[in-house]
Amino acid sequence: MNSKTPCTEIDLERGLRESGIREELVQACKVLYAVKAAGDGLGGHLSFRLDEKRILIKPRPVSWRGLKPEDLIVIDGNGKRVDGAAGERSAVREWPIHAQIYAARPDVQCVLHAHPSASTLMAALGIAVEPLDQDCAAFAGRLPMLDNGAVSIATPELGDEVARVLGKGGAVLLKNHGSIVAGADVAYVCVTAYRLEKVAETMLRAATLTKLPVMSPETSAAILQAREAVEPGAGSKMNQERWQMMRDYYL
């Protein structure tokens, strides 16, 4: 009897944790859709690493806005569903994005891939982010782009390429395709995805008003150097605050 108790407690604890993660991912999907960071909502996926072998993920055919906790599925590192029978409602064609980033980055717990309009267009036009405002400064010089012919990331090899270009950063653009955001928690991913789309809108607007680049390399470098010198170390706390504000605004 006693020998079974620890296992039961562990299972209960894991179940409660997963339940909480499901709730937060559902909130995240709805907020991301509301702020246009999920594009038109007809593609893309958000995931969370449950443990070394299991990934909780939003399947493609389920609505971002109408998603329920039970709609999320669990896959393994090979894209195979492990919490039930596979079917149309469990389709995740680009699972290698998630699996290969998790394999390459032990620090990453949450990954988003979507097709937001502004950042997708910014990448397609080859517009580099300049530190025109504080949000732009957070991405300037830190936003790599992968140009792979806009093919779907549907093989482990293509997923490895994404992970390589992402490196140790938090976001990467896929030219003519979309964007990927990866981070230590749901808060980071949602806040970063939201800010990235705002930044893209700013850069596209700037392109309609003046010739790019707006700033000289020296001016950009000076701004980024000044920000680096005084950038606060409480990024995680700030992301949590912003994530709570986003939920207050959009849920």
* pLDDT tens profile 170-188: 999 999 999 999 999 999 9
* pLDDT band, residue 84 (cuts 50/70/90): confident
In a domain, 6, yes or no: no
Answer whether residue 4 shows pLDDT above 60.
no
In a domain, 63, yes or no: yes
In a domain, 2, yes or no: no
Answer whether residue 196 shows pLDDT above 50.
yes
In a domain, 36, yes or no: yes
Answer whether residue 233 shows pLDDT above 60.
no
- Amino acid 47 reads S
Mean pLDDT of the chain: 92
pLDDT in tens, 26-78: 999 999 999 999 999 889 999 999 999 999 999 988 999 999 999 999 999 99
Domain total of the chain: 1
Residue 229: the pLDDT is: 80
In a domain, 8, yes or no: no
In a domain, 69, yes or no: yes
Output the six-digit token pair for 222: 């000076």
Phi-psi region of 171 (alpha: psi -120 to 50; beta: other; left: phi over 0): beta
| Average pLDDT for 114-137 | 97
Residue 1: the pLDDT is: 43
Span of 2-11, 24-33, 153-162, 235-244 with lowest mean pLDDT: 2-11
In a domain, 122, yes or no: yes
Lay out the sheet containing 171-174: strands in order across: 73-75, 55-57, 45-49, 110-114, 178-183, 171-174, 145-146
Name the residue range of residue 70's domain. Answer: 14-250
CATH number at residue 212: 3.40.225.10
In a domain, 153, yes or no: yes
